[in-house]
Structure 1
Amino acid sequence: MTTELQTKWLCSESGFDSHDSTRLFYRIWQPLAVPAGQAQKALIFLHRGHEHSGRIGPLVEQFGFTQDWAFAWDARGHGNSPGERGDAPDFQTMVRDFDSFINHIQHSYGIAKENMLIVANSVGAVIAATWLHDYAPRVRGVVMAAAAFDINLYVPLAKPALRFATCFKPDLFVTSYIRSSMLTHSAEQAKAYDADPLITKNISARVLLDLADTAKRVVEDAQAIDAPVLMLVADKDYVVKQAPQKQFFETISSTLKRYVLIENCHHAIFYESESQAQQAIQAAKDFINECYTKDLLPLSHYFKADTLSQSARQYQALQQGKLGGALENAFYGMQKFMLSHLGKLSNGMRIGLEHGFDSGASLDYVYRNQAGGRLLIGGMIDRGYIDAIGWRGIRQRKAQMQQTLSDLIQQYPAGQPVRILDIAAGGGRYVLETIKRFQNRDIEISLRDFDQANLDQAKLLAERLQLKNKISYQCRDAFAATSYPAEEDAYDIVIVSGLYELFSDNVLVLASLRGIQQQLKIGGHLVYTGQPWHPQLLMIAKTLNSHRGQSWQMRPRPQAEMDALVASIGCKKIATQLGIAGIFTVSVAQRDAAVPVLSD
């Protein structure tokens, strides 16, 4: 430890419990001098793949923000954190670990996310980018150095070969081909890298492939990211490709973004020879200072994102038939023809064709996950239909919703009544099945839907489950102000699931949220779902019909936009869960004060 670190920061070590109770290791640099009355700020460092937080100390010193905190973790399977070296259940687990780490810092050290700035290198930069996309934190900014959006594997067909191999050996590991001389021109830094006993050369093939898939998704949908971003790109990087970094930079919606290409620089940008490292660090310092001179985007910025954003422009192009080439459109036209004829052999497709593939009836069928149809082929078609990635995501969303609702109920004292409202319940399956497990609790439920047929189905399900709770069934429009009478008793938990994803118009969503504000208790919880992106938007729009009798055209609403709309009614997000491929999210927000409605 250098004298600078000893005299400017108090250095210590600790651990935090991640989302699955795995305790991960991290290091703390606490500033010894902080001006009175100044909000605490922090730099959060994410190390490269294979590395650990022990290599971050010199960076804290070189960045030189002596009045700010600094934190660095050892990712799962790295350094002093547990797990087989280079392994994790999947890449998304590491992203969720990082979200847990940030929440731990916020709660344990009293540093607001708005005053945190992330510095991430290589694989760490992909963790940070995915976190920005999927969790939409309102952080001050992110510095990404040599982001590993596409790793140079050099071996022909390496990824397909690894996918094939993991079918037979799921716990397959690969050894990195990277030598220290490929990372840096600095002989001193190369020697330190080679001598470090905590650096591992192994990585799980499963994690490597999941990293590649996630990075591709995030780069393709980078428009959803609007946080300030500095990209430091190495001119002679043998480890990762430059083109996806440029694509990511050009696509993000950030009003403050910088792209700095460092000449004659290898992959380990911060550990390069002095001239290259200093250029990178100076660019980062200038960017960090600039981030703190600018305000974060106001919540009202997102109110008109349905018409003034990249996602809105994509949606308009979809509506106008400008997406997709001639061959694609011909293929989807053939699919639609086959659906209208052979699709009727499938029970699920028949329900979708009759009621709409986004209808409550369709969702209830998908939830049951029991394939059926006419003739043998009908059942086979139906199984393929309900196993589509979107429907698998819907079932996972149901499980996450039920677990979230269960966890919230258990937070209330056993003798305290709990009032729950679902504003667009459909068949009410996930609520009623969850309540079945709490028959010893005083729980009152209100199920609302605009379609009386859905409420009738919910009533039949409640009877089959033999629920003892007081349940009311209210035929109401979730977007009408009259559906939320102020004279009704307030609710402890309000649920809105699978509704806002179907409507691009933020005026409608805000009207609904303002109604919810009237009926949600101070301190109560709002559980809401989102659909930040979908890999099959064009196919769905060209082949499937909605409950309104039109083609099912969707505008995925970025998580940052959805969270801002919720925050506008005084509800602060406290948690988000991701589904398969990041298509769906389940979030919880708490109403923490009687906040006046923001005008649009």
Structure 2
Amino acid sequence: MEGRLENGQYWQGWTVEAPVGVVVFVHGVHEHGGRYAPVAARLGEAGYACYAVDHPGHGRSPGNRGNIDGMDTTVAGVAALVTMAADRHPDVPVFVYGHSLGGLVALTYLTGERHPRVVGAVISAPALDTSASNAVQRAFAPVLSRFLPDLGVLALDIEAVSRDPEVVAAYRADPLNHTGKIVARTGAEILTAATAMPARLRGLTLPLLLVHGGADRLMPVSATEVVRAHAASPDLTVRVFDGLYHEPHNEPEKAEVLTEIVAWLDAHLPPAPA
């Protein structure tokens, strides 16, 4: 199934009969929700209905390519999808699954006004390490964001997405992916949100599963350590997969990764009513 939010953002869903829970995917920079169809298929086998929204400027959503417009706008799209998914499945818990930029967006949503039925989150390689930018770039980021929002400022190494050459080839060939540089507006929004996140995490008490590839060259494991160090959740699990690249769910070992994620989701389902 698919559709449009009120603001025009594109969403899609993969449903199952009598789901035990709902998972809302929050995708990374330059990709789109459709890339999570294989993950949704695995979670669907375990009884989870899944949904994803394309961020502004990404996939089938309107906007200049690669430009999320603003973190508030992007988070609002996620919030709208969570509400829609929860309304479609009124009797089951909701989980949020955010990867890379989507991990940062998900954490921003979770530390704000989240839906009351959200019971936990999977956060994969969150965009919380800003060491790739120097002091000059950080100083000029707000200026570029305002006056040259679509200026490309930082190239991404697509080869670092996965060790599976078929995944990399499919990424390059997918017309819904943006293969240019990260633009100034998106970069500035990431910097601002990542800088604010440690303080925001102090109020986050939801159960969290943090997933990271140990050989991730796009977002170092230190980004996940920011969440471990600052989140107030008493139920926090960190899983670093040795040797894996940026997208653990798209690595040759994806079956192992997704099995662990499903096990964590299952363990955090609320008890069935007596």
Q: Could you state the TM-score of these two structures normalised by the residue count of structure 1?
A: 0.42
What is aligned with 2:193?
Answer: 214
Say whether the 8 Å CA contact 1:235–1:265 is kept in structure 2. yes
- The Cα offsets for residues 210-240 of structure 1, whole Å up to 9 and x where unpaired, read as 2211122122331200111100022122112
- In the alignment, residue 115 of structure 2 is paired with which amino acid? P
Query: Which aligned pairs between 1:41-190 and structure 2 lie closer than 5 A?
Result: 41-107=21-87, 109-111=88-90, 115-138=93-116, 139-153=118-132, 157-166=136-145, 169-174=147-152, 176-190=154-168
Query: Which aligned pairs between 1:457-476 and structure 2 lie closer than 5 A?
Result: none
What is the CA distance between 1:151 and its match in structure 2? Answer: 4.1
Provide the C-alpha distance between the structure 2 equivalents of 1:42 and 1:136, rounded to a whole number of angstroms.
15
**CA shift in 2, pair 1:151/1:238, >3 Å:** farther
What is the CA distance between 1:250 and its match in structure 2? Answer: 2.8
Say whether the 8 Å CA contact 1:146–1:233 is kept in structure 2. yes
Say whether the 8 Å CA contact 2:59–2:177 is kept in structure 1. yes
DSSP 3-state at the match of 1:140: strand
What is aligned with 1:285?
Answer: 262
What is the CA distance between 1:278 and its match in structure 2? Answer: 2.8
Kindly tell me the number of residue pairs found equivalent between the two proteins: 270
- In the alignment, residue 122 of structure 1 is paired with which amino acid? S
Provide the C-alpha distance between the structure 1 equivalents of 2:158 and 2:189, rounded to a whole number of angstroms.
25
DSSP 3-state at the match of 2:66: coil
Provide the C-alpha distance between the structure 2 equivalents of 1:27 and 1:65, rounded to a whole number of angstroms.
18
**CA shift in 2, pair 1:294/1:141, >3 Å:** farther
**CA shift in 2, pair 1:269/1:242, >3 Å:** same
**CA shift in 2, pair 1:66/1:282, >3 Å:** closer
DSSP 3-state at the match of 1:194: helix
What is the CA distance between 1:256 and its match in structure 2? Answer: 1.7
What is the CA distance between 1:104 and its match in structure 2? Answer: 2.2
- In the alignment, residue 89 of structure 1 is paired with which amino acid? D
DSSP 3-state at the match of 2:67: coil
DSSP 3-state at the match of 1:72: strand
Deviating beyond 6 angstroms after TM superposition, the runs of 4 or more aligned structure 1 residues are none
- Structure 1 residue 248 corresponds to structure 2 residue 227: yes
Provide the C-alpha distance between the structure 1 equivalents of 2:256 and 2:46, rounded to a whole number of angstroms.
20
**CA shift in 2, pair 1:29/1:122, >3 Å:** same
**CA shift in 2, pair 1:172/1:73, >3 Å:** closer
- In the alignment, residue 210 of structure 1 is paired with which amino acid? E
- In the alignment, residue 162 of structure 1 is paired with which amino acid? A
What is the CA distance between 1:187 and its match in structure 2? Answer: 0.8
Kindly, what percent of the aligned residue pairs are identical?
19
DSSP 3-state at the match of 1:95: helix
Say whether the 8 Å CA contact 2:144–2:185 is kept in structure 1. no
What is the CA distance between 1:74 and its match in structure 2? Answer: 1.1
Q: Could you state the TM-score of these two structures normalised by the residue count of structure 2?
A: 0.89
Query: Which aligned pairs between 1:464-543 and structure 2 lie closer than 5 A?
Result: none
What is aligned with 2:15?
Answer: 30
Say whether the 8 Å CA contact 2:130–2:194 is kept in structure 1. no
**CA shift in 2, pair 1:223/1:154, >3 Å:** closer
Say whether the 8 Å CA contact 1:189–1:271 is kept in structure 2. yes
What is aligned with 1:457?
Answer: none
Provide the C-alpha distance between the structure 1 equivalents of 2:256 and 2:198, rounded to a whole number of angstroms.
26
What is aligned with 1:484?
Answer: none
Query: Which aligned pairs between 1:314-325 and structure 2 lie closer than 5 A?
Result: none
- Whose RCO is larger (CA < 8 A, sep 6+)? 2
What is aligned with 2:170?
Answer: 192
- The Cα offsets for residues 268-310 of structure 1, whole Å up to 9 and x where unpaired, read as 22112x22x2332122111101111569xxxxxxxxxxxxxxx
What is the CA distance between 1:144 and its match in structure 2? Answer: 0.6
- In the alignment, residue 184 of structure 1 is paired with which amino acid? S
- The Cα offsets for residues 77-111 of structure 1, whole Å up to 9 and x where unpaired, read as 1111111111233112111221122122233x143
**CA shift in 2, pair 1:263/1:49, >3 Å:** same
- In the alignment, residue 229 of structure 2 is paired with which amino acid? E
Say whether the 8 Å CA contact 2:86–2:94 is kept in structure 1. no
What is the CA distance between 1:176 and its match in structure 2? Answer: 4.6
Say whether the 8 Å CA contact 1:85–1:202 is kept in structure 2. no
**CA shift in 2, pair 1:156/1:92, >3 Å:** same
Say whether the 8 Å CA contact 1:227–1:254 is kept in structure 2. yes
What is the CA distance between 1:156 and its match in structure 2? Answer: 6.7
Gaps of 5+ in 2: none
- The Cα offsets for residues 45-75 of structure 1, whole Å up to 9 and x where unpaired, read as 1111100122111111233445331111111
- Structure 1 residue 233 corresponds to structure 2 residue 205: no
Provide the C-alpha distance between the structure 1 equivalents of 2:65 and 2:109, rounded to a whole number of angstroms.
23
Say whether the 8 Å CA contact 1:46–1:118 is kept in structure 2. yes
Q: Could you say which structure has the larger radius of gyration?
A: 1
**CA shift in 2, pair 1:183/1:156, >3 Å:** farther
What is aligned with 1:467?
Answer: none
Provide the C-alpha distance between the structure 1 equivalents of 2:100 and 2:164, rounded to a whole number of angstroms.
18
What is the CA distance between 1:152 and its match in structure 2? Answer: 4.9
What is aligned with 1:266?
Answer: 245
Provide the C-alpha distance between the structure 2 equivalents of 1:126 and 1:181, rounded to a whole number of angstroms.
22
- The Cα offsets for residues 283-341 of structure 1, whole Å up to 9 and x where unpaired, read as 2111101111569xxxxxxxxxxxxxxxxxxxxxxxxxxxxxxxxxxxxxxxxxxxxxx
Say which structure is richer in helix: 1
The two structures, once aligned, show a CA RMSD in angstroms of 2.3
Provide the C-alpha distance between the structure 2 equivalents of 1:269 and 1:176, rounded to a whole number of angstroms.
23
What is aligned with 1:387?
Answer: none
Provide the C-alpha distance between the structure 2 equivalents of 1:64 and 1:28, rounded to a whole number of angstroms.
11
DSSP 3-state at the match of 1:224: coil
DSSP 3-state at the match of 2:112: helix
- Please identify, of 181-190 and 58-67, the stretch whose mean Cα deviation from structure 2 is larger: 58-67
